[in-house]
Amino acid sequence: MSHVRSPLPTLLCLTALLSACGRAPDSTPAAAPPTLGALDYGTSAPPGSKGGPTNTSGALLSPAWTANAAAKGKPPTNEFWSSIIFKRNAGNAYSENMFAHPLALHATAGGLEVGYPTAMQIVGAPGLEKYQYPFAPDFTLGVSGLNSPDTKTDDWGDWTTTAAWSDGTRSLKATFGHGLPFVYATKTGGNAQVTFIAAPTVWSNQGNVLGVTVNGHHYGVFAPTGATWTVSGTTATSTLAGKDYYSVAALPDNSVATLNDFRTYAYTFVTGSQVSWAYNAATATLTSTYALTTATKEGAASGSVMALYPHQWMNSGSVNTAYTYVSPRGQMKVARGVSSFTTTQKFQGVLPYFPDNGAANTLNKTQLAAYVNEANTTATLNPTGDSYWVGKGLGKLAELVPLAGQVGNSAAQTAFLDAIQRTLQDWLDGQGSNYFAYNSAWGTLIGYPQGYGSEEELNDHHFHWGYFIKAAATLAQYRPTWVSGATPQGRTWGASINDLIMDAANPTTNTGQFPRIRNFDPYAGHSWAAGHAGFAAGNNQESSSEDMNFAAALVNWGALTGNSAVRDLGIYLYTTETAAIEQYWFNQSAQVFPAGFGKPAVGMVWGDGGAYSTWFSGEKEAIQGINLLPITAASAYLGRNPAYLKTNYDFLGREPNSWKDIFWSTYAFYDAAGALAKFGSGAYTPEDGETKAHTYQYLHSLNAMGQVDTAVTADIPNYAVFRKGSARTYVAFNPTAGAITVTFSDGKTLSVPARQVVSSQGGTTPPPTCSADTTAPGVPGALSGSGVTSSSVTLSWGAASDNCGVSSYEVFQNGALKATVTGTSAAVSGLNASTAYTFRVRARDAAGNVGAFTGDLSVTTQAASTAATLPGTVTSSGGGIANGTSRAFPVNVTSAGTYRLSVTSTSSLNSRLINVAFNGTNYDLAVDAGKTVIADFPNVTTGATSVTVTAKSDGVTLGAISGANLSAPTDPCAADTTAPGTPSTLTSPSKTNSSVTLTWGAASDNCGVSSYEVYQNGTLKATVTGTSASVSGLSANTAYTFKVRAKDSAGNVGAFTGDLSVTTASGATAVPGVVTTGVGVIASGASRSYDLSLSATRNVRLLITNASSASSSAFTVTFNGTSVPLSIGAGQTIPVDFAGVGAGTKTVTLTANSAGVNLGKLEATTY
């Protein structure tokens, strides 16, 4: 049933908000932006969805903020500090680790933990390493006695925030942010308190100002004039002389001169932050200003201290000190006494697509036309799935539109445009199963069906929406009236695209409906993908290139709709992130990645570092390729350093196994001829967002134009310059309705007709007139057959040429028409076993002209295969299956029930994607090299049927496939009367004052032991399925007698073991001390607990040793209200720290998260 969602009241139009935008006046006059109303959105999520942001327990969330914050507008998400306002992790009412740089922070009940991470680690499995600067607190900034039930957001700027604590008697507010060495605090109800992780070294005490060192890090602690700090052990307190403010700063060194320098600015409290930008088209210059707002508590100092990231100081002259800080982004440099700084960058231009380069073109237009026709399929024209996959489908269509025009295939171009328009309107009309809903609590649009956490975590909106906006820009170019076209409710299509922009990147300070610049972090220079930042490593972003796709879409959409504010927002995002990507994803200056990391790129940037990994695959192609796709003309930023692209490609160590077209296209910025040779070296499967038509034209375009030339700019934003040898190619796009002349910085001019992309190489080719076409297509090439079975064969052939484009291919079997298809392959089924068939193929165009046949191809089907019997082995070797093809395995089901199919991969590649279909149910599965995946199929009836496996990636090779009936009785055990044997060797490897661990040898049984019964002092104490048990609830220093017997599924019980006497430990282990010398085996899902005794509040460090020979044991340590999941290698000892553990008896619990957890010594120390 189709459901119509009621529209919201009209959302504010983006153009109506431009006066509030944080940007300088545009130096280039622009056409007046259209006056657009807003579109319709659903008021509620569809049935079965989450309905909005949730925590990990599934509960719907509201923002965690104060009344002051709520009055500011809609809540920000996707920030480095979002875990305060968006409590994703159930049970944590404070925050996760927040990496502001140079500081890192963590909210607790007692205040704000502060650290300065300088110790780099390289962690992770070989080949999937991550470098990180993990958070470790140096002190907690707070108020004496503060015990707040939660932490809330009280205020924010573009890269700063203020957090708030209150327990009803005492309160604290702390302001921190990117680039700030300071944390600024105000308090009520108690003394100011700084609690250090260890007794600090006080190297300067000026009464109200302390210089201290803790954990090798130097800090200044600043109270008001007239106040004093009292330092006792690990704690510094002050009455603040009756005032309510103090600040703390990380210092670059421990000199008194530096301390006094920072003292000058310690009382100029930062209260906000905002970025503004200005694009000067005449000079192609982007100037960005990063400004702080401040309030002076005392003194006459103006300005503050700002630490700049590499992508900032490399493009700014504002650094005026020799001070530096360590960060995961490389060295930060300091500007002192400033309230703002500026960066200046050249904007290298954005094109919607590459042009026809006329005589310089090296491509074959007939071949390109064939590829265009090959892409014109039902699947391409009907994008399906969630908002991400539909977006990728729209992006693919947008790239095909100009290619169809370049080969004069107006029918295909119309089909592609129709598909874009139909799909956008389906999602933007507020009706049916595909639509956007506005969530007023969080001020966000959510597309349904949602994907990858875009609803419950508010992830990836910029990734998804970028494709929609790109496709809309294509419609704006080719069908400009669509922008202002009426929706079913009388509004406009263009307005809804503007609201997608507002959702992900509202450039204004009007935040009544959307927060300002949701995804992009102006100071960090890139976006954050996670809405909540609920990770110990901070927030993260994987696909920097899809972030750039969003920015480029804004440039083109803004230019085509006359909206210079949107256009310049896109220019700011695109130019800024280009600099960030070159440093933080690609390390092109060799100043960011630490020595020993050994990778030319990271797949993910985290708050605490960078990881050579992805969320979805460990393959090199995925890790490197996710930061290259989608390939568009706007990907030219990748070509600014062509030698790096060769390094990136070469690091694969081989030719790519997947996403070949993505790697060839980026390699072409270095060596287009070499990329073309790779393209022509054999068959391949296009990446999901790609087509052979686009890759073919892209590679040949770069082969004609050369490498990106950054030395020359133009006076419009839609341009690019390339250089091949000594010759330059100038390219420009005119987004307006009238012809323009573009002037380049070296004096070159280029006349560009309305809404066209033009190259200085020429190449404007009028489309052929096909209304009276009488020219027949050419002969298809190279007819071949593959995947021959007893009843089917897959045919494939080369594309045929045609002056107006081939519309279809006709497949003849034994002289009769068997199938008509639009692509260059066909699966022919319904054949007889052991039978010879003759096939041939011919092409047909839209005018009905048919070409000559290929030569005949003779194929003999395989002999009829004997159906395998289920339950049993379906096949011992499934063999190789080409991407996009299927193989059916006939089976005869002899007993009804629920079947479990096991499929083994013999491929050498991980993450091979397959679809397994059986009994009307199918599953998409990913299987690693040499591994087996399983899938359960219910309600299977007896009789002949088949198991069908479809390859959905390259390199699929299968081994054995088998099926078991999970419902069938297991004979001869249905009437089992045989008792199990006696378990052997009952022992107790460890004990505490309240628990005992027991282990024993397995008992034998004719039908298998189902459980073991553990008796304590003659009474049944526990029933377990494994060969160990933890008996708890015992008294200290008490003797107990245990015995064990086995039971099978028929209820038969065996004889008891001999009695084992165990005396519990004498009480809780005093800290510091050895808790146990052997924790022992813990079954998956089971727990083991120990009591610890503390005489006073301490920072407790648990040392846990892995006694297993397994390469990795996963378990969770729970202590003092905090749970820490761990994975520990064989023989490894790992420390786990818990700060501020109060006096008394505390329980530490170890819970196994995997099989084979066998822990050794457990020791509790203090630090």
- Quote the CA–CA distance of 266 and 211 in Å, as a whole number: 13
What are the C-alpha distances in Å from 962 to residues 124, 919, 929, 947, 959? Answer: 34, 15, 18, 10, 10
Q: From the candidates 429, 460, 568, 715, give the one annotated as an active-site residue.
A: 460
SS (H, E, C) 727-770: EEEEEEECCCCCCEEEEECCCCEEEECCCCEEECCCCCCCCCCC
Catalytic residue flag (residue 457): no
Provide the residue type at 967 as one letter. S
Catalytic residue flag (residue 1013): no
Tokens of 305: 């201290």
The answer to whether 474 touches 403, Cβ cutoff 8 Å, is no
Q: From the candidates 138, 167, 374, 542, give the one annotated as an active-site residue.
A: 542
What are the C-alpha distances in Å from 707 to residues 250, 593, 633, 663? Answer: 45, 27, 13, 16
- Quote the CA–CA distance of 162 and 844 in Å, as a whole number: 68
Q: From the candidates 374, 546, 582, 1163, give the one annotated as an active-site residue.
A: 546
Q: For residue 356, what are the contacts with CB-CB under 8 A and spacing of at least 6?
A: 406, 759, 763, 764, 765
How remote is the C-alpha of 455 from its chain's centroid?
14
CA angle 318, 320, 324 (to 5 degrees): 100
- Quote the CA–CA distance of 1167 and 1165 in Å, as a whole number: 7
Tokens of 879: 């063999």
Nearest to 603 by CA among 653, 669, 545, 679: 545
CA angle 280, 286, 288 (to 5 degrees): 125
Tokens of 415: 């089909």
- Quote the CA–CA distance of 995 and 991 in Å, as a whole number: 6
324-325 and 444-448 beta bridge pairing: unpaired
How remote is the C-alpha of 384 from its chain's centroid?
21
- Quote the CA–CA distance of 343 and 1082 in Å, as a whole number: 57
- What backbone phi and psi angles, to 5 degrees, belong to 190? -175, 175
Catalytic residue flag (residue 542): yes
SS (H, E, C) 575-628: HHHHHHHHHHHCCCCCCCCCCCCCCCCCCEEECCEEECCCCCCCCHHHHHHCCC
- Quote the CA–CA distance of 447 and 427 in Å, as a whole number: 8
Provide the residue type at 247 as one letter. S
The size of the chain, in residues, is 1167
DSSP E strands, 420-572 = 435-439, 444-448, 520-521, 526-527, 540-541
1069-1070 and 1087-1094 beta bridge pairing: parallel
Nearest to 885 by CA among 785, 806, 755, 770: 785
Residues catalogued as catalytic: 460, 542, 546
